[in-house]
């Protein structure tokens, strides 16, 4: 049974979007270091030293990021042995993105399978969309291409939160998926809200950057967004489409719809899309270290 505007948690209690988002905010699903990284990202007065200080408080995170920096993807001439060197070499935002990737990956440590859905495949989808959104932003010569990666990485965090915090309703929703409906339509029917709404509410409570919040809410409908982050939101929407169609869907089924306004807004032609799809596989291989951070 479903209820308009509500979902049902594991105890059978009716839960509104407000209740679910509030409960998630109270228990702070993300590791604490992720929140501190976001604070640095949000603060225009923060810099490399602030990020280094945050990350050095988590030895395991620092080690994972340094391992990634020294991977073949970045072709460093000499081994990078500390975070200060890493930030100097790759820049504040790229190291921030690695730290967030490593932190968010902790949400996927326990595998879960429900029909076509696999947590591990959702993780691959998130990282792939981040990489693809950055690729598109760079090809379109957008200044905020590293913000496009972070936005792509976090765009479907609402699905993760549904899986973890309203699991009974989430299982029912996954079981109701069909290729004639969008994911959002099935979520609305079965739970009363969708992953973009839940993700937006929690992302705001967690003080995610405005650009990331916009991508979370509008990555299926950039045409409805009015704001300064429109180019990044379009990049994430197109990246979500490309990654889904090329074998990395979020919930195991290809449920996205092509957005002509997003393509037109980025001045992407059919030939551009074909080239991006071909180049994406090489880009994913070059950034393989991000999948295991």
CATH 1.10.3210.10 correct for 6-13+110-292: yes
Distances (CA, A) of 203 to 14, 125, 164: 23, 19, 16
pLDDT recorded at residue 14: 55
**β 14-16/113-114 pair status:** unpaired
pLDDT recorded at residue 5: 45
Residue 9 clears pLDDT 80, i.e. is over it? no
What tokens appear for 103 in the block? 């932190």
Helix, strand, coil fractions of the chain, as percent rounded to 5? 65, 5, 30
pLDDT recorded at residue 74: 84
What tokens appear for 119 in the block? 């947590």
78 contact partners, CB below 8 Å, separation of at least 6: none
> Tens digit of pLDDT for each residue in 192-234?
999 999 999 999 999 999 999 999 999 999 999 999 999 999 9
Residue 15 clears pLDDT 80, i.e. is over it? no
Distance of CA 53 to the CA centre of its chain: 25
Enumerate the β-bridge partners of residue 191.
none
> Tens digit of pLDDT for each residue in 251-260?
999 998 889 9
Rounded to whole angstroms, the Cα distance separating 137 from 101 reads 19
> Tens digit of pLDDT for each residue in 24-56?
988 878 889 999 998 888 888 988 899 999 999
- Find out whether 25 and 198 touch, Cβ atoms under 8 Å: no
- Residue 127: pLDDT band with limits 50, 70, 90: very high
Rounded to whole angstroms, the Cα distance separating 75 from 186 reads 44
Helical (H) or strand (E) element with 216: helix 210-218
Q: What is the DSSP letter of 182?
A: -
**Residue range 254-278: mean pLDDT, rounded:** 93
> Tens digit of pLDDT for each residue in 84-113?
999 999 999 999 999 999 999 999 988 989
Lowest mean pLDDT of 6-15, 167-176, 228-237, 238-247, name the range.
6-15
* Phi-psi sector, 75: left (phi>0), alpha (psi -120 to 50), beta: left
Enumerate the β-bridge partners of residue 15.
7
Rounded to whole angstroms, the Cα distance separating 256 from 81 reads 42
pLDDT recorded at residue 26: 86
Helices and strands in the chain, H and E counts: 16, 4
Task: State the average pLDDT for the chain.
Answer: 91
What tokens appear for 37 in the block? 């990284």
Residue 71 clears pLDDT 70, i.e. is over it? yes
Residues of the chain with CATH 1.10.3210.10: 6-13+110-292
Residue 11 clears pLDDT 80, i.e. is over it? no
What tokens appear for 142 in the block? 């957008």
What's this model's pTM, rounded to 2 decimal places?
0.92
> Tens digit of pLDDT for each residue in 234-246?
999 999 999 999 9
In sequence order, what DSSP letters do the residues of 139-178 get, joined into one string?
HTT-TTHHHHHHHHHHTTHHHHHHHHHSHHHHHHHHHT--
Return the closest-CA partner of residue 209 out of 149, 254, 168, 274: 149
């Amino acid at each position: 049974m479903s209820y308009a505007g509500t979902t049902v948690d594991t105890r059978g209690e009716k839960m509104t979007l407000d209740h679910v988002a509030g409960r998630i905010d109270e228990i702070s699903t993300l590791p604490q270091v992720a929140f501190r990284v976001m604070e640095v990202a949000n603060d225009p007065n923060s810099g490399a030293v602030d990020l280094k200080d945050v990350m050095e408080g988590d030895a395991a995170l620092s080690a994972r990021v340094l391992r990634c920096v020294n991977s073949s993807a970045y072709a460093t001439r000499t081994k990078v042995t500390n975070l200060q060197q890493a930030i100097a070499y790759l820049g504040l935002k790229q190291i921030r993105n690695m730290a967030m990737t490593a932190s968010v990956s902790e949400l996927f440590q326990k595998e879960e399978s429900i029909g076509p859905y696999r947590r591990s495949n959702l993780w691959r989808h998130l990282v792939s969309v981040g990489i693809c959104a950055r690729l598109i932003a760079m090809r379109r010569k957008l200044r905020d291409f590293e913000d496009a990666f972070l936005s792509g990485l976090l765009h479907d965090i609402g699905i993760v939160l549904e899986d973890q915090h309203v699991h009974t309703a989430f299982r029912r929703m996954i079981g109701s998926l069909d290729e004639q409906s969008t994911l959002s339509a099935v979520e609305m029917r079965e739970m009363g809200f969708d992953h973009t709404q839940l993700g937006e509410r929690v992302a705001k409570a967690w003080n995610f950057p405005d650009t990331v919040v916009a991508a979370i809410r509008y990555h299926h409908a950039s045409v409805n967004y009015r704001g300064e982050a429109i180019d990044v939101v379009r990049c994430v929407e197109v990246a979500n489409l490309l990654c889904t169609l090329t074998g990395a869907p979020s919930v195991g089924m290809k449920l996205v719809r092509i957005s002509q306004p997003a393509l037109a807004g980025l001045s992407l032609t059919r030939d551009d899309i074909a080239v991006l799809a071909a180049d994406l596989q090489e880009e994913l291989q070059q950034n393989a270290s991000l999948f295991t951070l």
